[in-house]
Amino acid sequence: MLTTTALPHPAELLPHRHPMLLLDTIQTYTPGESVTAATFVHPETIFFEGHFPGEPILPGVILVEMMFQTCGLFGRLEGLQNAQAGEVRQIKSGRAIKIDTLTFNEPVLPNDHLLITAVFSHKLLNFSVFNARVDIAGRGRTAARGTVTVLINP
């Protein structure tokens, strides 16, 4: 069983690389239930260059990508968990499929610390549905929340 001390770096699990690897660490993982990742929003991030000069706000589409990447972590951690239990399961790839009822509640600013949580809802074939959210640590506010669906190809 994976423990919090044994959680890998997101780059060990996801195919994304800079500048599209948006997650810094995996904070928690509960097998079969949820995963929480964290990231620091650097003031010099490329997304602030034009969104918006003088009043930088992290684009909402980047928050959505953080949610999808966190779902990808869950799928890959589940694969590792199952492999340790003796079941052979290697996750080959995954991709974003659907966004439902997504709301943006609070702007994300430079120097914010974010916690991105994906709670597994249900699965249909290779499609996994998650309730996801991005919380701004320190402000006690939710930046975005919604239901996202990912395809995970075993």
pLDDT at 1: 47
In the chain, where the domains are located? 4-153
CA distances from 113 to 84, 129, 137, 150 (A): 32, 25, 5, 25
Does a cis peptide bond (omega within 30 degrees of 0) precede residue 127? no
pLDDT at 87: 57
Q: Where are the alpha helices (DSSP H) in 19-117?
A: 60-84
- For domain 4-153, the CATH architecture is Roll (3.10)
Task: Choose the catalytic residue: 9, 16, 42, 51.
Answer: 51
Q: Is 51 a catalytic residue?
A: yes
- The structure tokens listed for 24 are 């810094």
Those residues whose C-beta lies under 8 Å from the C-beta of residue 58, and which sit 6 or more positions away, are 41, 45, 47, 48, 51, 107, 108, 109, 112
What are the 10-residue block averages of pLDDT along the chain, 154 residues in total? Answer: 73 91 97 97 92 93 97 90 62 81 97 98 94 95 97 76
Place of tokens 């959210």: 133
pLDDT at 138: 86
pLDDT at 91: 60
